[in-house]
């Protein structure tokens, strides 16, 4: 998928984003947005609707605007609207968004990810509850049948501000650890599960294969930042690198006693050459090179764009090369992984309706189309007979998608015709992923990484909302703490700072007022649970 886009801080929607909302579409690229003036009437009496959204990278390869996507053109026909997409310039998305808000000249719809309550309180967008009740029967049915999803979508006061992007299927985990299976076979080793088994495997890779990075870390994600979908060895200890739920209460992983155990292990592995010595400085180029030069034994990557790229390239050099998924590490045999990179049912991305919209009812009706069966199929599979056919009740992509005659990759062909591989209004369909993942190793991975994904709900902070005051205070505290945590992690790992100084490190984080930050998060969690 297009990175989820939205690789957020441990799946939590923080109001700390403030007015500088992040875009709901990751990998943004595209042309500058046009003006937001509305025509008095659309073509053939269609209702004009201007929509502000970033342009996904895969779309931009073949199209200049989402207006040109085949599914969007079909959507217009089916709903009687005329969409005018406005795309910010790549790299200037947040800046252009803030300028647009300040100008008070808004499009009809803004597809965003961020602090919806602030947009509403500032008067930029409208409340959608009544409109959904009256004009969005498909979305209303989903929310009525899935109270936990409704809870995620609602603000603390019960307001709904966005027509959401939802993931209600089985697959909510899109990345994990992959290992050189051909090396395991050659060395007579099984795929590791526990930390001790991992150590045995990494030592064998170093000593018998002579590789420089038995365990590769870097971009993506850096071990110091530990992105939200990144299984890592810290989490084998039952904690994570940011806030999480410990016995139902908000805690901060890097000051828990288990963090010291992790640092001790990681430093020893670093000293023994089991971890890539460049883990703190790798960029995408060096990360890729170590994999493709067969210097990496195991690493984190995404199922689609990662393995779909690395495995064919490795096998072009060596037909016997193989990468297979490895379950999230645990400390003891029989333990179940708790942190799996599972996303919430609401991705956090959604379409808001602005105060400038003169046709809110028609807009909600049009967006609700994607939550009905016909719109769901259009969003995820495109146009029947052109991009998919029904085979035994299963929507099967045609060669236009899977073997594109113009040489487009599967993900690029999808992006040209429909909106399955990045966030947009509507619900994702698992049958998209089942076909997007063409390689058997990818098919195995999506099942393996999803096996324990429900455990993650027990330890992850749900999509809570902070007030503006809480957001400002929390952001200030955590900016200092995160910078310090990352600096000290590298020092501890490399030995520049003795592990014996862990208590002093914790004391410094306390001085940065972590207790107040946890109190803010706990208050927000209590409000969320009371929704």
Residues 225 and 248: their CA atoms lie apart, in Å, by 24
Burial class (CB in 10 A: 0-12, 13-18, 19+), 188: exposed
Residues 515 and 526: their CA atoms lie apart, in Å, by 16
pLDDT band at residue 173 under the 50/70/90 scheme: confident
Residues 512 and 506: their CA atoms lie apart, in Å, by 10
Residues 195 and 216: their CA atoms lie apart, in Å, by 16
Record the tokens describing residue 395, joined without a space: 């929507």
Residues 330 and 385: their CA atoms lie apart, in Å, by 47
> Nearest CA to 448 among 93, 170, 215, 259?
170
> Nearest CA to 10 among 334, 358, 463?
463
Burial class (CB in 10 A: 0-12, 13-18, 19+), 190: exposed
pLDDT for 149 equals 96
Strand partners, 174: none
Scan for tokens 């991975």, then name that residue.
Answer: 445
Scan for tokens 């810290």, then name that residue.
Answer: 234
Alpha carbon separation from 99 to 28, 35, 51, 109, 153 (Å, rounded) = 18, 13, 16, 16, 27
* DSSP single-letter state for residue 239: -
Residues 357 and 391: their CA atoms lie apart, in Å, by 42
Q: What is the mean pLDDT of residues 368-373?
A: 98
Give percent of the chain above pLDDT 70: 89
Tens of pLDDT, residue by residue over 219-242, are 655 544 444 334 489 999 999 999
What's the whole-model pTM score? 0.81
**First-to-final CA distance of the chain:** 31
pLDDT for 71 equals 98
pLDDT band at residue 282 under the 50/70/90 scheme: confident
Ordered structural domains, the chain, with CATH: 20-171+344-436 (3.40.190.10), 175-231+259-326 (3.40.190.10)
- Mention every residue, 6+ apart, whose C-beta is less than 8 A from residue 34: 84, 86
Give percent of the chain above pLDDT 90: 78
Residues 189 and 181: their CA atoms lie apart, in Å, by 9
Record the tokens describing residue 279, joined without a space: 């883990």
Q: What is the mean pLDDT of residues 139-158?
A: 96
Residues 232 and 339: their CA atoms lie apart, in Å, by 9
Q: Give the CA angle between residues 314, 59, 17 to the nearest 5°.
A: 95
């Amino acid at each position: 998928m297009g990175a989820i886009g939205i690789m957020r801080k441990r799946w939590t929607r923080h109001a700390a984003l403030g007015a500088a909302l992040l875009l709901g579409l990751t990998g943004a690229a595209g042309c500058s947005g046009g003006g937001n003036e509305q025509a008095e009437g659309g073509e053939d009496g269609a209702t004009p609707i201007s929509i502000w959204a970033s342009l996904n990278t895969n779309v931009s390869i073949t199209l200049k605007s989402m207006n040109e996507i085949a599914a969007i053109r079909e959507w217009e026909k089916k709903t009687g609207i005329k969409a005018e997409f406005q795309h910010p310039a790549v790299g200037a998305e947040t800046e252009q968004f803030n300028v647009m808000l300040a100008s008070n000249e808004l499009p009809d719809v803004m597809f965003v990810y961020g602090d919806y309550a602030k947009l509403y309180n500032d008067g930029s967008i409208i409340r959608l509850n009544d409109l959904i009740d009256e004009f969005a029967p498909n979305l209303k049915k989903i929310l009525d049948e899935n109270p936990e999803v409704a809870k995620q979508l609602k603000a603390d006061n019960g307001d709904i501000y966005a027509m959401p992007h939802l993931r209600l299927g089985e697959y909510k985990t899109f990345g994990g650890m992959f290992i050189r299976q051909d090396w395991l076979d050659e060395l007579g080793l099984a795929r590791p599960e526990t930390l001790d088994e991992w150590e045995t495997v990494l030592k064998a890779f170093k000593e018998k294969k002579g590789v420089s990075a038995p365990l590769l870390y870097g971009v993506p994600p850096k071990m110091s930042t530990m992105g939200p979908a990144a299984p890592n060895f810290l989490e084998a200890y039952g904690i994570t690198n940011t806030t999480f739920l410990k016995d139902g209460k908000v805690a901060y992983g890097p000051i828990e006693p288990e963090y010291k155990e992790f640092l001790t292990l990681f430093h020893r592995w670093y000293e023994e050459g089991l971890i890539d010595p460049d883990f703190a400085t790798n960029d995408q180029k060096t990360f890729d090179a170590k994999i493709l030069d067969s210097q990496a034994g195991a690493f984190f990557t995404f199922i689609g764009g990662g393995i779909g790229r690395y495995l064919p390239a490795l096998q072009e050099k060596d037909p016997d090369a193989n990468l297979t998924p490895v379950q999230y590490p645990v400390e003891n045999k029989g333990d179940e992984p708790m942190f799996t990179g599972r996303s919430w049912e609401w991705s956090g991305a959604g379409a808001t309706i602005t105060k400038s919209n003169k046709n809110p009812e028609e807009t909600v009706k049009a967006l609700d189309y994607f939550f009905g069966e016909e719109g769901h199929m259009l969003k995820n599979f495109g146009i029947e007979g052109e991009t998919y056919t029904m085979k035994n009740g299963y929507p099967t992509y045609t060669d236009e998608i899977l073997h594109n005659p113009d040489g487009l990759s599967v993900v690029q062909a999808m992006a040209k015709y429909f909106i399955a591989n990045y966030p947009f209004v509507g619900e994702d369909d698992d049958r998209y992923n089942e076909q997007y993942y063409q390689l058997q190793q990818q098919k195995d991975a999506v099942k393996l990484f999803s096996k324990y994904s429900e455990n993650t709900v027990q330890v992850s902070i749900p999509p809570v909302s902070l007030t503006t005051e809480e957001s400002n205070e929390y952001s200030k505290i955590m900016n200092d703490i995160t910078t310090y945590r990352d600096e000290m992690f590298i020092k501890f790992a490399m030995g520049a700072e003795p592990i014996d100084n862990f208590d002093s490190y914790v004391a410094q984080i306390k001085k940065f007022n972590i207790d107040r930050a946890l109190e803010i998060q706990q208050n927000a969690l209590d409000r969320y649970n009371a929704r």
